[in-house]
Amino acid sequence: MSYIVAENLTKTYDGGAAAVAAVDDISFQLKAGEFIGIMGESGAGKSTLLGMLGAMNAPTAGRLMVDELDVYGLRPEQRADFRREFLGFIFQSFHLVPYLTVIENVMLPLTVAKGGNREKRAKAQAALHQVGLAEKANRLPNQISGGESERVAIARAIVNEPPVLLADEPTGNLDTRTTREIMELLLQLNGEGMTIIMVTHSPDCAGYARRIMRVSDGKLREDQFNLRRIETWQKEESTIDLPPSRIQVPAAGSLHTG
Ligand code: ADP
């Protein structure tokens, strides 16, 4: 059974005479535990698609089913609950609150959750431990590096233990070495069972995904297994260095249910 099913997802923005289809009739199915890289040029429709998958942007046509739940059939407040429980988000800019400490930033999504402060702090500390930042819990955002800020943002995204993590250009502002560290962290989270959907224009980053989709002009042009990645996984190597040219693999036609 598929976990996430995008059925003819379409988003048209009313641009007066010329309406723009930012996402144009995209269908696919994801299983739990997949790691998907969505690639495409600027303006291709990646962020719009991710927003729709993230229950934040209602399609003008089509359906999003998650675990047999029709996400946009939910009332707005139910959808907000769904988003909170089911999804974690990380963005290119970290959006850390500058006057809160690292651990307080990670605790933010727990504000509305049940439980006492001590319990929430323990959860946040565990998330920080998971991203390798346990020691820096009491620093302020201006006392940590860019890569560490991204880790804090990841800890904040996973503190609720969502089954699905959505990432929009998560390494867009980071240098090569830090990018690699963050991608390794996403791999680790995926290895622990988290489903990851990542938008990127970077072939190097997409190389970490197990499955790569390419979008242009709002259409899904390719949907392929990253066979190279799977081979590497099977050899249980922890570090992967995929030059862009090696990402291309024969089409896994069965994936695209179109
Ligand atoms: P990407 O993330 O691949 O750069 P986007 O999803 O941001 O692409 O945008 C896809 C297309 O939809 C672009 O042509 C963009 O200008 C248009 N678009 C995105 N958001 C809006 C909006 N809110 N209103 C009108 N057009 C939009």
pLDDT tens digits along 108-145: 999 877 888 999 999 999 999 999 999 999 999 999 99
How far apart, in whole angstroms, are the C-alpha atoms of residue 212 and residue 204? 12
Mean pLDDT of 231-247: 45
Percent of the chain scoring above 90 in pLDDT? 69
For the stretch 20-30, pLDDT in tens is 899 999 999 99
Residue 89 lies in a domain: yes
Residue 135 lies in a domain: no
What pLDDT is recorded for position 254?
40
How far apart, in whole angstroms, are the C-alpha atoms of residue 99 and residue 145? 16
Q: Quick one: DSSP state of residue 134?
A: G
Of 247 and 114, the one with more pLDDT: 114
Residue 206 lies in a domain: yes
User: Pocket of ligand 1, candidates 48, 56, 202: which has the most ligand atoms within 8 Å of its Cβ, to mutate?
Assistant: 48
Give the number of the atom of ligand 1 that is nearest the alpha carbon of residue 168.
Answer: 2
Residue 125 lies in a domain: no
Task: For ligand 1, atom 26, name the residue with the nearest CA.
Answer: 13
For residue 206, the enclosing domain spans: 4-95+160-255
For the stretch 32-66, pLDDT in tens is 999 999 999 999 999 999 999 999 999 999 999 99
pLDDT band per the 50, 70, 90 thresholds, residue 257: very low
Q: Does position 237 have pLDDT exceeding 50, yes or no?
A: no
Task: For ligand 1, atom 25, name the residue with the nearest CA.
Answer: 13
Mean pLDDT of 193-210: 93
How far apart, in whole angstroms, are the C-alpha atoms of residue 117 and residue 225? 43
User: Pocket of ligand 1, candidates 11, 13, 60: which has the most ligand atoms within 8 Å of its Cβ, to mutate?
Assistant: 13
Residue 152 lies in a domain: no
Cβ < 6 A, ligand 1 pocket: 13, 20, 22, 40, 42-48
Residue 196 lies in a domain: yes
For the stretch 95-108, pLDDT in tens is 899 999 999 999 99
Q: How many structural domains comprise the chain?
A: 1
How far away, in angstroms, is 142 Cα from ligand 1 center? 32
Residue with tokens 């990432």: 167
- How much is the pTM? 0.86
Q: Give the neighbor-by-neighbor strand order of the sheet with 4-13.
A: 20-30, 4-13, 61-66, 69-70
Q: What is the CATH number of the domain that holds 67?
A: 3.40.50.300
How far apart, in whole angstroms, are the C-alpha atoms of residue 150 and residue 145? 9
The pair of three-digit structure tokens given for residue 195, joined into one six-digit string: 């489903």
What pLDDT is recorded for position 140?
96
Residue 21 lies in a domain: yes
Mean pLDDT of 138-165: 94
Q: Does position 238 have pLDDT exceeding 70, yes or no?
A: no
